[in-house]
Each structure stands twice: as structure tokens, then as C-alpha cells.
Amino acid sequence: MKLQLALDLVNIEEAKAVVREVEEFIDVVEIGTPVVINEGLRAVKELKEAFPSLTVLADLKIMDAGAYEVMKASEAGASIITVLGATDDSTIKGAVEEAKKHGSEILVDMINVKNLEERAREIDALGVDYICVHTGYDLQAEGQNPFEQLQTIKRVVKNAKTAVAGGIKLNTLPEVVAAGPDLVIVGGGITGQEDKQAVASKMKQLISERTAV
């Protein structure tokens, strides 16, 4: 089980400063969609150069032109690229084929997928590396969380690894960890805290304890 830090509301220099604080406790650093919109794939390139030992994920939320966008993100240094589960199978297949050429991986984000169980089964058969349940910002504001959805995909996914994102904080992490995802994605639960290092350290400890069981 790995810990991913999601960077959403920062520029490149702010992103580097946050990662420096918590680098020893995280496995993956995510260049969030807002950062890519503001800074472009240069953000991926610069973070990979600054932290070569970390896996960099580019949260492109691809809906079309899967192969091309995966190619560009991989060239910039991304090891994992996100595609939306709501897109068509041909886009996902194209992304998977291109990722294999570059040695990168595909994470399918299931945000706003209506029939989660059925779609997770279909996507699992397409050769993707991760399937991620994700409660978006707007739904978090309504009090929703991804824990129940995680249980659903854990039941049906046979090939891909599983990931979970959406409002995870230190006090809710034990519930997430108990479900056993392969990748735990935390944004504001770390970046919004005054002592980011202390929180990231505790989160990594909880994950390590579960992994050791």
C-alpha cells in the first residue's frame, strides 16, 4: 500500500516546497489537474527533476486522444497518468498501449461513473494498472466519501490495483486502510495542515502497520 500526495492548488515552486516537507513519507506525488491547467506539463517535468526518487503522477483526466496525451505526459516524466472511467473503451485501450511503450502506468479515475460495479469489471479487462474510486470536491461538500465505493471495486476488480481518493484525512485513514487499497491518495488532508510533515508521518505509519500485517 502506497501513499500519494495530491497537489492541486499550488504553482510549481509551492509544489516543490510542500514535497520537500513530506518527501520521506510519500511514494507518489500527483500533479493535480488544476496545476496542469495553470502550469502545463512543465510542472510534471520540474517535479520529476527535483525529486527523481518519487513516482510522479499526471492527473490529466483524459477523455479523448488517450495515446497522444499519455505520450506527452510520459515524455515529461510521468510514471502514472489518469484516464476517466466515463470515457469510451477505445480511449482507454489507446492509453494503455501507449503507456506500455514508455514504461508508464494508467490509473482510471471512476469519478462520476454511474454503474460503478459494471464499469469497473469492464475497465479491469482492458489492462489498466489502477482503478481509482474518487469522490470529487463538490460531492465531498455534500458529505459523501469514497469508502463504500472502494468496497465495491475491491469485490469485482481482479487484475488492476485499486486506489482511493476524496477527502481522506488522518482521522478517516484507518477506515480506508482497513479496506486494503493499493494506493491511498491524500490532498488537503496533508497540504491543508499546519504541520504537514507530522501528519504525513502518521499517515505513512498507519499504512506501514497495515501492510506489515
Each residue's pLDDT tens digit, 168-179: 899 989 988 988
CA 119 to chain centre: 18
In this predicted structure, the answer to whether residue 19 has a pLDDT above a threshold of 70 is yes
Radius of gyration in angstroms for the set of CA atoms belonging to the chain, rounded to a whole number: 16
**Cα angle, residue 109 at apex, residues 181 and 10 outer, rounded to 5°:** 95
The more confident residue out of 32 and 139 is: 32
> How many Cβ atoms are within 10 Å of 103's Cβ, its own excluded?
8
In this predicted structure, the answer to whether residue 75 has a pLDDT above a threshold of 60 is yes
**pLDDT range class, residue 157, cuts 50, 70, 90:** very high
pTM: 0.93
pLDDT digits (tens, 9 = 90+) for 89-142: 999 999 999 999 999 999 999 998 989 999 999 999 999 999 999 875 555 555
pLDDT digits (tens, 9 = 90+) for 85-97: 999 999 999 999 9
pLDDT value for 192 = 92
CA-CA-CA-CA torsion for 18, 44, 159, 163, nearest 10 degrees?
A: 30
Domains of the chain: 2-212 (3.20.20.70)
**SS3 of residue 127 by DSSP:** coil
Q: Where are the beta strands (DSSP E) in the chain?
A: 2-7, 28-31, 55-62, 80-84, 105-109, 130-134, 161-165, 183-186
The more confident residue out of 154 and 51 is: 51
Grid cell at residue 205: 505509519
